[in-house]
């Protein structure tokens, strides 16, 4: 159902901890104390970051990985024939991302950000995604989950065209979406991917909910990744630890979108987490561990609490990935 244009015509090359300090630009989120976050599951206490300073700038990039942690796009909601419709607008384009002091990367992105917006809906909602391709190449959007064949996103949308993807959110869980134009590895590796969360009919228990998407960057086009990152920017959470509350339930939505590497692990220091595979259980995780292995496009919900305060690392247990940017800290703030 193509539409006319209607809107907008393994190398340890970086030692752990090295790289410019990163942070939030422009409309950055910056709190001086703590704040209360109202999630879809209810009110939870979320510790705030310290006020930003000049050393925390994200190399001039327009959106910060800190903002991406809790930035859920729930779309424009309307009621049609007695049911909820969530409409999302996604624009494919090209842009430059400053990965660190030494490396700029030309991305193919959605809405000017890598990773793309985290889309969120409830099971049973009607999903309508207005996709505008201004990327200079043919692109598409393929959603994981249930949908009709003509909404599968394998048909390229030419530059300058609009396509409307519409389907029902039938299967709750943690899904993803990405470009499916060949070579798919290149289109994903350039930044055309995002998370798609469908909440279950019975809401999950209240928690501080965070998104971490793992990715790699082939900066010299040799089909090998030289840099790695959580939420777009290498080393970001090493220099800007993620503040979480002591004894607060953390619900971590983790997605592996690293191309060119067969698999990646996620390891949490000084703690265990429960694993809810693909988010398909509404009652919690099925087993406990401190490290999990994920292939490309695999994703899970990980839940944990920290009872001790201080800074605790998280990273893949492939050391070359961690040392090349995919590493960070949780900063556990004491209860008041």
| DSSP labels, 16-73 | TT-S------SS----SS-EEEEETTEEEEEPPPPPP-GGG--TT-SS-HHHHTT-EE
Helix or strand holding residue 174 (H, E): strand 173-178
- What is the value of pTM for the model shown? 0.86
Rounded CA separation 16/324 (Å): 7
pLDDT above 80 (res 191): yes
For residue 215, what pLDDT band results from cuts at 50, 70 and 90? very high
Summary count for the chain: helices (H), strands (E): 4, 24
For residue 253, what pLDDT band results from cuts at 50, 70 and 90? very high
- The tokens of 4 are what? 């006319």
Give me the pLDDT at residue 185, please: 96
pLDDT above 90 (res 18): no
Rounded CA separation 180/163 (Å): 14
- The tokens of 159 are what? 């530059």
Give me the pLDDT at residue 163, please: 98
Residues 75, 76, 80, 84, CA torsion sign: positive
The DSSP call for residue 151 is G
Phi and psi, residue 66, nearest 5°: -65, -40
Helix or strand holding residue 323 (H, E): helix 319-323
The terminus-to-terminus CA distance of the chain in angstroms comes to: 55
- The tokens of 140 are what? 């598409």
CATH code of the domain made up of 17-333 = 2.60.40.420
Between residues 66 and 62, the one the model is more confident about = 66
Altogether, the residues listed in the chain come to a count of 336
Domain boundaries, the chain: 17-333
Provide mean pLDDT across the span 164-189. Answer: 97
- The tokens of 333 are what? 């703030």
pLDDT above 50 (res 134): yes
Gyration radius of the chain's alpha carbons = 19
For residue 214, what pLDDT band results from cuts at 50, 70 and 90? very high
The maximal CA–CA distance of the chain, rounded, in angstroms, is: 57
């Amino acid at each position: 159902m193509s539409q006319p244009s209607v809107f907008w015509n393994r190398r340890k090359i970086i030692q752990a901890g090295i790289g410019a300090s990163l942070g939030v630009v422009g409309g950055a989120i910056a709190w001086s104390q703590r704040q209360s976050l109202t999630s879809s599951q209810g009110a939870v206490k979320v510790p705030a970051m310290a006020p930003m300073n000049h050393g925390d700038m994200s190399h001039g990039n327009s959106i910060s990985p800190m903002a991406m942690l809790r930035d859920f796009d729930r779309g424009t909601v309307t009621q049609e024939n007695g049911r909820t419709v969530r409409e999302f607008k996604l624009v494919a384009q090209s842009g430059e991302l400053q990965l660190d002091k030494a490396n700029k990367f030309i991305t193919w992105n959605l809405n000017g950000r890598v990773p793309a917006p985290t889309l969120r809906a409830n099971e049973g909602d009607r999903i309508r995604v207005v996709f505008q391709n201004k990327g200079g190449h043919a692109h598409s959007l393929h959603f994981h989950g249930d949908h009709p064949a003509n909404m599968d996103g394998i048909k390229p949308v030419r530059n300058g065209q609009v396509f409307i993807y519409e389907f029902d959110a039938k299967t709750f869980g943690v899904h993803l979406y990405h470009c499916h134009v060949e070579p798919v590895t290149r289109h994903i590796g350039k930044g055309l991917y995002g998370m798609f969360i469908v909440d279950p009919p019975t809401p999950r228990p209240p928690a501080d909910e965070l998104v971490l998407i793992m990715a790699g960057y082939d900066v010299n086009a040799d089909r090998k990744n030289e840099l790695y990152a959580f939420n777009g920017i290498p080393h970001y959470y090493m220099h800007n630890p993620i503040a979480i509350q002591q004894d607060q339930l953390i619900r971590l939505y983790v997605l592996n979108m690293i191309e060119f590497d067969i698999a990646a692990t996620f390891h949490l220091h000084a703690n265990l987490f429960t694993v809810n595979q693909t988010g398909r259980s509404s009652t919690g995780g099925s087993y406990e561990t401190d490290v999990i292995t994920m292939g490309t496009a695999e994703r899970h919900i990980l839940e944990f609490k920290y009872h001790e305060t201080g800074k605790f690392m998280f990273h893949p247990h492939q050391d070359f990935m961690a040392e090349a940017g995919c590493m960070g800290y949780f900063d556990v703030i004491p209860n008041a």
